[in-house]
Amino acid sequence: MEIIEMDQLNHGRFETWPFSHNHCLSCGLCSSSCPASGMDEFDPRKLVRMVGLGMAEQVVESRWPWICTMCAKCGHVCPMEIDIPGMVRRIRGLRDREKIPGILRKGLEAALKTGNNLSLPKADFIFILEDVAAEIADEQPEFEGLTVPVDKEGATILTTIHNKLVNTHTNDLKHWWKIFHAAQEDWTVPSDNWEGTNWGLFTGDDDAMRTLTGRIVENMEKLKAKTLLWPE
Ligand code: SF4
Ligand code: SF4
């Protein structure tokens, strides 16, 4: 197996490798703070040490980078301030695209093509939003008249939507909307590119991440919204 040093991994897509993995003290604080430690023998300390020992290729090809939740607890406790989640993300980006976990690959492809990870058509998306709003209004008299302002220009808040909220977790939308309604907030939801989950970020694909983030910025500009609420 070819051994790739981290310096080699810098070549190509990235100009610098900002992670001071060689400063690792092997103290294990990262491992003890990590909620994923032990799954398939994953251990952030081992990951850092393997990278430092020139075994990055094995890490790239392993399941470990995909077990990490990127919660950043490890980086928070590390006395040497090693950016382990940043390292994990960079490692994910080095995996051949056809070898990244299927659900992420398919969701990302769908998001780039259709504007959301589910490939949900615009008409269905709007139907779901209106249906959830009608349910809220029916359930509690104080929310009578609650509507979802789609594509409203000049709103104070533009909110993105996590795909599961228009799929399996529609009830979770209700909490947000009830608060907006009770606070008489001026808000809107874009009808295109509403997806809040950026799997370009999670898969280490910088180009995809920029594209998806850029679409949110375009929505902000197009609808002249003042504040972005990105609950993801
Ligand atoms: S970012 Fe990853 S490695 Fe670090 S604590 Fe969270 S799950 Fe563990
Ligand atoms: S907390 Fe930091 S110094 Fe300690 S083992 Fe983990 S990466 Fe190394």
Average pLDDT, rounded, for the chain: 88
Other CB atoms within 10 A of residue 3 CB: 11
Tell me the whole-structure pTM to 2 decimals: 0.81
For residue 43, report the distance from its CA to the centre of ligand 1, in Å: 9
Predicted pLDDT at 5: 45
Predicted pLDDT at 85: 92
For residue 104, report the distance from its CA to the centre of ligand 2, in Å: 29
Report DSSP state, residue 161: B
* pLDDT > 70: percent of the chain: 91
Mention every residue, 6+ apart, whose C-beta is less than 8 A from residue 23.
80, 82
Distance (Å) of CA 101 to CA 78, 167, 203, 228: 28, 21, 9, 30
Predicted pLDDT at 18: 53
CB 44 within 8 A of CB 78: no
- Burial status of residue 51 (CB atoms within 10 A of its CB: 0-12, 13-18, 19 or more): buried
Bridge partners (DSSP) listed for residue 157: 187, 227
Query: Residues for the chain: how many in total?
Result: 232
Mention every residue, 6+ apart, whose C-beta is less than 8 A from residue 25.
79, 80
150 by DSSP, 3-state: which?
strand
Please write the tens of the pLDDT for every residue from 192-211.
999 989 999 989 999 999 99
Shortest-distance Cα residue to atom 8 of ligand 1: 34
Predicted pLDDT at 158: 97
> Domains of the chain by range and CATH?
6-95 (1.10.1060.10), 115-229 (no CATH)
Predicted pLDDT at 13: 38
Predicted pLDDT at 14: 34
CB 76 within 8 A of CB 82: no
Identify which ligand lies nearest to the alpha carbon of 51.
Answer: 2
140 lines ligand 2 (CB under 6 A): no
For residue 34, report the distance from its CA to the centre of ligand 1, in Å: 5
Identify which ligand lies nearest to the alpha carbon of 37.
Answer: 1
**Averaged pLDDT for residues 184-198:** 94
Predicted pLDDT at 56: 85
92 lines ligand 1 (CB under 6 A): no
For residue 20, report the distance from its CA to the centre of ligand 2, in Å: 10
Residues 138 and 133: their CA atoms lie apart, in Å, by 9
Q: Which atom of ligand 2 is nearest to the CA of 23?
A: 3
Predicted pLDDT at 41: 93
Please write the tens of the pLDDT for every residue from 110-166.
999 999 999 999 999 999 999 999 999 998 888 888 889 999 999 999 999 999 888
Using 50, 70 and 90 to split pLDDT, how confident is the model at 3? very low
User: Among 22, 30, 33, which is best to mutate for testing ligand 2, by the most ligand atoms less than 8 A from CB?
Assistant: 30
Residues 164 and 195: their CA atoms lie apart, in Å, by 10
Identify which ligand lies nearest to the alpha carbon of 21.
Answer: 2
Place of tokens 């809107």: 188
